[in-house]
Chain A
Amino acid sequence: MREDRDYSDIPGTYVFDPHHSMLGYHLNMFCMSLNEEANRDKFQADERAYLEGFSLTPAQQTAVLDRDWLGMLRLGGNIYYTFKIAAFDGLTMQQVGAAMSAVAAAEFQEMMVHGGRAIEGNRYQSEWDANG
């Protein structure tokens, strides 16, 4: 599958493309199952046992159990799917955004209130590399 994509140089961004979709199918379908209350109850009762019912890789299982939001994205998760786990935990999208960009939730919220993350300096990976 083509790797040199025109969006590959966008920093901190995991485009849910065919490659990611293949990697993350089972992970995302586990998340999808949380749309049903009965399944949320089962997941609540025993997360590890519930996950066994889906064909996740060990790394994906660990990422879910650890609530490693970036890890899930890297392993094929899509944010609209993985956010169902966050909602299950009672987290907001801002709290998850903070965790993924490695800042405190209050700091992330402050950034959003002041206009969000600026586009300047955040278009290309090379800009991030230059700024360490």
Chain B
Amino acid sequence: MANLFAGIGTSHVPGIGAAMDNGKAENDYWKPLFDGYGYVRDWLAKEKPDVVIIVYNDHASAFSLELIPSFAIGVASNFPPADEGYGPRNVPAVEGHPELAWHLAESLILDEFDMTMVNKMPVDHGLTVPLSITCGESEIWPFKVIPLCVNVIQYPSPTGNRCYQLGKAIRKAVDSFDENLKVAIFGTGGMSHQLQGERAGLVNVEFDTAFLDDLTRDVDRLVKLPHVVYLRESGSEGAELVMWLTMRGALDDDAKEIYRHYHVPASNTAAGLIILENP
């Protein structure tokens, strides 16, 4: 049977990818951020998951205002890097796992999560930056990926609770997949940041720290946070953090934190990283 053993929460700031792509990861500005990523790369190289479900959001790349799925799952065998307006990132294409992805889609829909199923989906920095963060530079990504895309651009996004419950349904689906696969799940985006308006540049360390703490101490509090609290306290784009709750929902209730890293700034964002493992 497939085994979902761990989850990672990580920011997906495009600047992090650009710093790697342009060889700036060792400079004074970026080094303190990247120094915190060594642990997760070693951990992942040791754990060697077969498949990673990456919960992320598309930023006007695969989807536009023409069609806005609240939850979409990539069921293809291949997902090319997207051109987001300045040429695609020079990173490997992402290999999917259609069998598990279709099993997830089927199980989730019968569990009343009405997923949009997607065969053609270029993936943008929301997905490829977390891969770069956790795998470093690579000729080929070391595991297969199931992209799970959440709308957080058009208000309202799904609620934190809905994202969390989706995580629980994902876990149930993985547990019932009849193949020995080691599966991890990433929740991406955040942490506090606001890109737009006169309040651009907002960072709220207290909010972020409490969020990281409560992923293991008080998940109920996080699950109940309404959109307005994210918008006000973590910034208009900090509201991406609901995607971390899908990752959390897929893990055991008593999952343990084994690592965290937090750094301000990555461009305009507070960058967070956490690894949670099932006992």
Contact = CB atoms under 8 A, between A and B. Distances in A.
A101 B201 contact: yes
A60 to B, nearest CB: 14
B64 A16 contact: no
Interface residues of A, number: 52
B265 A116 contact: yes
B198 A88 contact: no
A51 interface: no
B83 A35 contact: yes
Nearest to A109: B265
Interface string A17-39: 11001000100110110111100
Interface stretch (B105-113, B161-169, B175-183, B228-236): B228-236
Listed residue (B65, B83, B204, B233) with the most chain A CB atoms within 10 angstroms of its CB:
B65
Contacts of B65: 21, 25, 28-29, 32
B64 A28 contact: yes
A124 to B, nearest CB: 8
Contact of B197 (A12, A31, A40, A98): A12
Given A7-B227, A81-B60, A101-B198, 5 more contacts: A16-B154, A35-B82, A111-B201, A115-B203, A122-B202
A6 interface: yes
Contacts of B116: none
A53 to B, nearest CB: 16
Interface in B201-226: 201-207, 226
Nearest to B234: A119
Interface residues of B, number: 49
Contacts of B200: 12, 96-98, 100-101, 108, 117
* Residue from A12, A21, A97, A123 having most chain B Cβ neighbours under 10 A: A97
A93 B199 contact: no
B251 to A, nearest CB: 29
Interface of B: 14-15, 29, 59-61, 64-66, 82-87, 153-156, 192-207, 226-228, 231-233, 235-237, 264-265, 267-268, 270
A88 B83 CA distance: 12
19 contacts: A7-B232, A13-B231, A14-B196, A15-B231, A18-B155, A28-B65, A29-B66, A79-B196, A87-B86, A93-B15, A93-B195, A93-B267, A115-B205, A116-B192, A117-B203, A119-B204, A119-B206, A119-B233, A122-B199
Contacts of B153: 16, 78, 80
A92 interface: yes
A35 B84 contact: yes
Contacts of A6: 226, 228
Given A15-B236, A29-B66, A70 B83 contact: no
Interface string A102-132: 1000001001110111110011000000000
Contacts of A119: 202-204, 206-207, 233
Contacts of B237: 79
Contacts of A37: 83, 87
A94 interface: yes
